[in-house]
Amino acid sequence: MSEKISIVIVDDHTLFRSGVATLLSEFEEINVLFQASSGKDLQEKLSPDNLPDIILMDITMPVMDGYETTEWVTGKYPQVSVLALSMFDDEKSIINMLRAGACGYLLKESSPSDLLGAIKITREKGLFINENVSGRMLTSLRNEASAIDTDGKPSQREMEFLQYCATELTYKEIADKMNVSPRTVDNYRDSLFSKLNIKSRTGLVVYGIKNSLIII
């Protein structure tokens, strides 16, 4: 049996949060580490000793909302993936969560099988972009003016890596395609994160589409 995917659930609605935890506990692939009622609660409970693979993050929470909490998580613990789980399906909410560092976005009305599938894809690929997210993302980006930073321009190889980021290939598979080591691919990723002030693979895809750097 493969290693379980560890999950943390952050939501201020106790019944929903507990319901999701109970639901996920029925899947043998999932291990729910703990629940948090807010971003502040998460900050108090999360430590290097109990990091999950994925955090399911609500958006609307008191004191510290999902956007701020996601930025904090991806800044302090970049190895942890944040998957937004929200009732909002508008472009602004989706784009802002992706820009905050979330690697994917799922609606609360999704089926249990869809949630499990999103978790598995996030764990394996490092990002989850479904039809709902991609459609609204593209709609929003079409309405924004393109603005490419001239400072810190990506290199040719980084641009090639950026193209692969929009696929379902893992970083290891991208390294194979580019005939480089996984460490070199990590360097491309980290360099782009730094140059573009972006915190996640999904954020790179958003930037690439917005600035016509990725052909889809």
pLDDT per residue as tens, the chain (216 positions): 468 999 999 999 999 999 999 999 999 999 999 999 999 999 999 999 999 999 999 999 988 999 999 999 988 998 899 999 999 888 788 888 888 888 889 999 999 999 999 999 889 888 887 766 665 565 555 454 334 344 567 888 888 899 898 888 888 999 999 888 888 898 889 888 888 888 888 888 878 877 777 765
Q: Is the dihedral of CA 39, 45, 47, 51 positive or negative?
A: negative
Last residue of a domain, one of 106, 141, 176: 141
CATH of the domain at 67: 3.40.50.2300
Please choose, from the candidates 128, 22, 123, the residue with its C-alpha nearest in 3D space to the C-alpha of residue 84.
128
Helix axes 182-196, 171-178, angle to 10 degrees: 110
Global model pTM greater than 0.85: no
Q: Specify if 74 maps to a domain.
A: yes
Q: Specify if 70 maps to a domain.
A: yes
Helix axes 171-178, 156-165, angle to 10 degrees: 140
Last residue of a domain, one of 124, 141, 158: 141
Whether residue 127 is found in the same domain as residue 200? no
Residue 91 structure tokens: 């472009």
Taking CA atoms, 18 is separated from 41, 54, 161, 174, 207, in Å, by: 15, 17, 40, 38, 35
Domains identified in the chain, total number? 2
Whether residue 163 is found in the same domain as residue 93? no
Alpha-carbon distance of 200 to 98, in angstroms, equals 8
Whether residue 196 is found in the same domain as residue 118? no
Q: Specify if 216 maps to a domain.
A: no
- Domain span at residue 38? 5-141
Last residue of a domain, one of 93, 112, 141: 141
Whether residue 31 is found in the same domain as residue 104? yes
Strand order in the sheet with 30-36: 30-36, 5-10, 54-57, 81-86, 104-107
Whether residue 130 is found in the same domain as residue 151? no
